[in-house]
Structure 1
């Protein structure tokens, strides 16, 4: 297969980098967020959790800008229309969640009972948002709901990627996975 045809079937290097960096950060924050009271109690990781959240927010805005200015490779023609539509919907829900989750967490710290700026890994403080106590409370509720929604979506996304790779063998995973061709074979 010609190199240009191969590249047209893959996401760009920038998109791949954004995807995997944000994915690792989101999964780390989900694990901490979902299990901080049972597994990580007293570990003092909340400042890291918040700094990662701010990092995800900044990277997600950059990723969205990248997505809006770069073409994505087409899905295989063999996919039914409903599956293509579901894929697009899930991706836009991911974009919403990777922006709204950090914003809701930032709102929580900015207007809660003990408002404080978020420290970005001890290097500098991110200013507080101008939110009321009520907005901070809503941010807390939304953050929790978004967290469970994100966890469910991540599990479904991984399951769908594995289905495409190992059951359908249609190369969809290879479009985003370094070292895997869009044909589904290892390079």
Structure 2
């Protein structure tokens, strides 16, 4: 079976790990009461990871537009192929929408995003106490949809490994088999 290219595989797993870490950190940091040094540090890490996901997602999309993915197995039902395309499309949209909504939420809160403490991202909107809760809710719900989509993606991968045994997961595996 044909595999994805090495850059596609590396970007897939880097982004996947960063999304899981960023989501988990977001849950942890929002549960910390008050404004503590730990909470502020976690917010910075969360933002850095989100900006990194956005940058890597941009690279991944550019690579995907340039590089054709391997074909699905001929025996795979058409409805599953359509579902896979729809889920992958939604995952791409969310890889951009989630970090962008967080970025604009931070700006609406009057907190600039400073990447790794090295440079500030542009301030595209001014602090806005009316927009802040709207963007906060949007960021939260986009994250919940992303988490659900990731869960469906992982469950589908398990189905292909345990039920279908069609080798489709090996196309993106970081550990190629012969």
TM over 0.5: same fold?
Answer: yes
Q: Is the 8 A contact 2:10 2:174 kept in 1?
A: no
TM-score, with length taken from structure 2? 0.89
Aligned pairs (5 A) from 1:42-81: 42=36, 43=38, 44-81=41-78
Which runs of no fewer than 5 residues in structure 2 stay unpaired?
Answer: none
Aligned residue pair count = 173
Distance 1:102 1:38 in 2: 20
- 8 Å contact kept, 1:53–1:102: yes
What residue is the counterpart of 2:164 in the other structure?
A: 168
Q: Aligned partners of 1:135 and 1:61: how far apart in 2?
A: 26
Does residue 120 (structure 1) correspond to residue 124 (structure 2)? The answer is: no
Pick from 125, 143, 156: which aligns with 1:147?
A: 143
Distance 1:40 1:99, change over 3 A: farther
Q: Which structure is richer in relative contact order (CA contacts within 8 A, separation 6 or more)?
A: 2
Q: Report the Cα distance in structure 2 between the residues aligned to 1:147 and 1:56, rounded to whole angstroms.
A: 13
Rate the CA distance shift 1:110–1:37 in 2: closer, same or farther, 3 A.
closer
TM-superposition CA deviations, 1:102-140 (whole Å, max 9, x none): 00000011122xx12212122222222225624443321
Provide the secondary structure at the position in 2 that maps to 1:36. helix
The alpha carbon displacement at 1:36 in A equals 2.6
1:83 aligns with 2:80: yes
| Unaligned stretches of 5+ residues in structure 1 | 1-5, 181-185
TM-score (norm 1): 0.85
The separation in 1 between residues aligned to 2:89 and 2:33, in whole angstroms, is 31
- State yes or no: 1:27 paired with 2:20: yes
The partner residue of 1:130 within 102, 125, 134 is 125
Tell me how far apart the structure 1 counterparts of residues 98 and 126 of structure 2 sit (CA, whole Å).
16
**SS of the residue 2:170 aligns to:** helix
